[in-house]
Amino acid sequence: MSVNEYEAAVSPKTIRFELADEINCKDEAYMVGTSIFFPNESATQLLEYRYDGSIQRSNANDVSKFIFPILTTDTIKRIAVQETPQPRIWVLTNSGILYCLTYQRQEDYYAWSKIVVAGQTPVLDLVVLRETYSSGLDQVYIMVNRFGFVQHEVLSSLADTNGVPSVNYSKTEDEPTLYLDSSETGVSGKGTQDYNEQTKIFTITPTNTAVFANGRNVDVIVGAVYVGNYPIVNGKIEVKMLLGTAERWVIGLKYSGEVEPMYPTWDGSNKPAYGSSNARIISSKAYLIDSSTYSVGIDTSLEEIKLDGHVSTNDRVVANAADYIAVLKDSSTAVLETNSGEVINALVAYVAPQQVYFTGFDREKPLRGAYFGVDKTIKIEQGEPYPLTVGALVTKTDLN
């Protein structure tokens, strides 16, 4: 209801009624910028209500059509909106599967992803807490039934795990980036009771004994470097490794993430249409942001790529005395040796290598398993507990 374009006040003569599309909403709607997101009455669609310039009025757009027919058979249980560090709409289904829509209205960008909790554990509930971190970032909580009891877990944060907390709380202490599921974290280092400098054994004692129970195996990250999978014995995890002065450790369950872009199509005459089988993707070149390792290929034929600055497990874990001496030589600026080649430990200081993340275009990679077929598209996978952000992807295609 509004006045016409010539009048400023509403009166019986100037009032004007306009018809609008009515779509029933199942649950609470959320506003992100100038758009409103809500599930439809049957909870089978996620709709975006926004102004459409092509028809000169507001319209409800089905943004879940990109993942059709998932929500048709597994309906929406709850949606939640995260505004920082970038807009994300989290969608939880009744079967306990969590999806995330990354949204950029200005660029007309919609990207769906599926969040698989380690062990295929169903998600029970979801909530987003506004500006929970000291930096002002939103915090995403999920509830999962793991090992027979319900617990809360935190998704998403952006801090650097290389950082060492100062006396006062730092950003790293407030919001560590954890790339392990059901994780627990802390800070330790050389000179503490957790590290035996003679045996080079670093001992971690988990506090959540329900998750980290005796006999289970957990994954361990120290100083932003994945150091392997270890058993819990007598409530403790023992890792034989070289430890710096103060480093953050994280224990939890490792998970994998993967992305597959849509099959490429072209405009113009005499070009392959969508669904044709006379083209294949033979190579790719990715623009990466703050990443250290990833795998790329087609189907199950993947090649693992180590980027410049990546620190591997072998750079931290000590298998024997020879490895210890070799790593000390690599990491120290000055090493003194006896005639027999033994390192004089008292005069050598171990410098923990820092994980350096790569930003820029990686080298062009030929793709394994590049065959003709519409289902043979690129797969990029992150199977290690490290960050991976793909900003752009350039492909080379062979036409038959």
> What pLDDT, on a 0 to 100 scale, did the predictor assign at position 157?
47
C-alpha radius of gyration, the chain, whole number: 26
The pLDDT of 254-272, averaged and rounded, is 69
pLDDT band at 229 (very low <50, low <70, confident <90, very high): very high
When comparing pLDDT for 53 and 392, which is higher?
392
Average pLDDT of the segment spanning 370-390: 80
Between CA 344 and CA 335 the distance in angstroms is 8
- Asked if residue 57 has pLDDT above 60, the reply is yes
Q: Is 189:234 a contact under the CB 8 Å cutoff?
A: no
Residue 85 has pLDDT above 70, yes or no: yes
The whole-number pLDDT of residue 186 equals 87
Q: Is the peptide bond before 122 cis (omega within 30 degrees of 0)?
A: no
Per residue in 323-376, pLDDT (tens digit) is 656 665 665 544 445 545 554 443 445 667 778 889 999 998 888 777 766 567
According to the model, what pLDDT value does residue 192 have? Answer: 85
CA 117, chain centre distance (Å): 12
Q: Give SS3 for 28.
A: coil
The per-residue pLDDT for range 125-150, each reduced to its tens digit, is 988 887 766 667 787 888 887 776 66
The residue behind tokens 């790569």 is: 358
- pLDDT above 50 (res 28): yes
* Average confidence (pLDDT) over 386-396: 86
236 band by pLDDT with thresholds 50, 70 and 90 = very high
The helix/strand/coil state of 14 is coil
pLDDT of 325 reads 60
Per-residue confidence (pLDDT) for residue 220, from 0 to 100:
94
In the prediction, which pLDDT does 173 show? 41
In which element (H, E) is residue 378 found?
A: strand 378-382
pLDDT at 15: 59
What gap in Å lies between CA 9 and CA 123, rounded to an integer? 52
* Residue pair 254/117 in contact by the 8 Å Cβ criterion: no
Where are the chain's structural domains? 29-155, 178-254, 257-310+356-399
Task: Select the more confidently predicted residue: 302 or 274.
Answer: 302
3-state secondary structure of 346: helix
> Which pair of structure tokens corresponds to residue 362?
């990686």
Residues 6+ apart with CB under 8 A from 202: 188, 194, 195, 196, 222, 238, 239, 240, 241, 243, 249
Asked whether the predicted pLDDT for residue 208 surpasses 60, the reply is: yes
pLDDT band at 269; cut points 50, 70, 90? low
Q: Band of the pLDDT at 168, cuts 50, 70, 90?
A: very low
The DSSP letter of residue 174 is: H
pTM, entire model: 0.71
pLDDT band for 7, please (50, 70, 90 cuts): low
Give the Cα separation of 20 and 71 in Å (integer).
Answer: 26
Q: Does 177 score more than 70 pLDDT?
A: no
Which helix (H) or strand (E) is 326 found in, with range?
helix 321-331
**Residue 54, pLDDT above cutoff 70:** no
Residue with tokens 């080379």: 396
Confidence of residue 153 (pLDDT cuts 50, 70, 90): low
Q: What is the mean pLDDT of the chain?
A: 77
State how far the Cα of 11 lies from the Cα of 3, in Å rounded to an integer: 8
E runs forming strands in 177-223: 181-188, 195-196, 201-204, 217-222
Residue 191 and residue 232 in contact, taking contact as beta carbons nearer than 8 Å: no
